[in-house]
Amino acid sequence: MSTALARQRKARLRLLHVIQVPIQTPLEAGRLEYEERRQEQESLLDVASRHALERGVRAMASAVVAHNVPSAILSAADMESPDFVIMGWKGETRTTHWKGTIVSSVLKIAKANVLVLKDRGLTEVNRILVPISGGPHALLGLRLASELASEWGVKVTALKVVKGEGPTQESTEYDRQSVALFHEQAAGFGRDLLEKTGLSAEVAVVTGTDIVSAIVNATTPQDLVVMGASNEWKLRQRLFGSIPDQVADSAPVSVLMVRSRF
CATH number of the domain where residue 203 is located: 3.40.50.620
In a domain, 172, yes or no: yes
Give the count of alpha carbons within 13 A of 40, CB side only: 6
Model confidence at 75, pLDDT cuts 50, 70, 90, reads very high
Can you say how many angstroms the Cα of residue 12 is from the centroid of all Cα atoms in its chain? 19
Contacts of 14 (CB under 8 A, 6+ apart): 59, 60, 62, 76, 80, 82
Q: Identify the bridge partners of residue 116 per DSSP, sorted by sequence position.
A: 87, 257
* Domain coverage including residue 202: 122-259
Nearest residue to 92 via CA among 110, 118, 70, 116: 118
pLDDT at 255 (0 to 100):
96
Entry pTM:
0.87
Q: Work out the pLDDT band at 186, boundaries 50, 70, 90.
A: confident
Beta strands in 90-148 (DSSP E): 113-118, 127-131
Outline where DSSP puts E strands in 95-141: 113-118, 127-131
133 C-beta neighbours (distance < 10 Å), count: 18
Query: Does a structural domain hold residue 193?
Result: yes
> Quick check: is 5 in a domain?
no
Mean predicted confidence (pLDDT) in 204-233: 89
Q: How confident is the model at residue 97 (pLDDT cuts 50, 70, 90)?
A: low
Domain count within the chain? 1
Residue 17, strand partner residues: 63
187-205 per-position pLDDT tens digit: 888 888 888 888 989 999 9
9 domain residue, yes or no: no
pLDDT mean over 34-60: 87
Residue 129, pLDDT > 70, answer yes
What pLDDT does 236 receive? Answer: 53
For residue 57, tell me if it sits in a domain: no
